[in-house]
């Protein structure tokens, strides 16, 4: 049962990360050159931030699993009688 909890947390984190990533993608497609601005003004740090934005779905999935572990630690470790 605990894997169902972890899977749900990973799914929700992935969907939220994908949604935020899509917002940045749509912003770039609408004509606001956010990526160009980051690279020109911040150099390497800007490229790093862009890679973090691209990795948001994976980061969200990992954070979703961690959040489930923190929120439901008692239910996940409790033995059924």
> For the chain (length 81 residues), average pLDDT per consecutive 10?
90 96 91 86 92 94 94 78 47
Site of tokens 């033995």: 79
pLDDT attached to residue 35 = 83
Q: From the CB of residue 60, how many other CB atoms can be counted at a distance below 10 Å?
A: 23
pLDDT attached to residue 67 = 94
Domain range for 36: 2-77
Q: Which two tokens stand for residue 43?
A: 């150099």
Does the pTM of the predicted model rise above 0.75?
Answer: yes
pLDDT attached to residue 14 = 97
pLDDT attached to residue 44 = 92
pLDDT attached to residue 80 = 53
Number of residues in the chain: 81
Domain count, the chain: 1
């Amino acid at each position: 049962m605990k894997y169902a909890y972890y899977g749900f947390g990973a799914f929700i984190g992935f969907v939220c990360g994908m949604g935020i990533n899509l917002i940045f993608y749509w912003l770039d497609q609408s004509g606001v050159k956010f990526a160009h601005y980051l690279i020109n003004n911040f150099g390497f740090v800007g490229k790093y931030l862009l890679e973090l934005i691209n990795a948001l779905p994976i980061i969200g999935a990992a954070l979703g699993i961690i959040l489930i572990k923190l929120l439901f630690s008692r239910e996940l470790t409790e033995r059924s009688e």
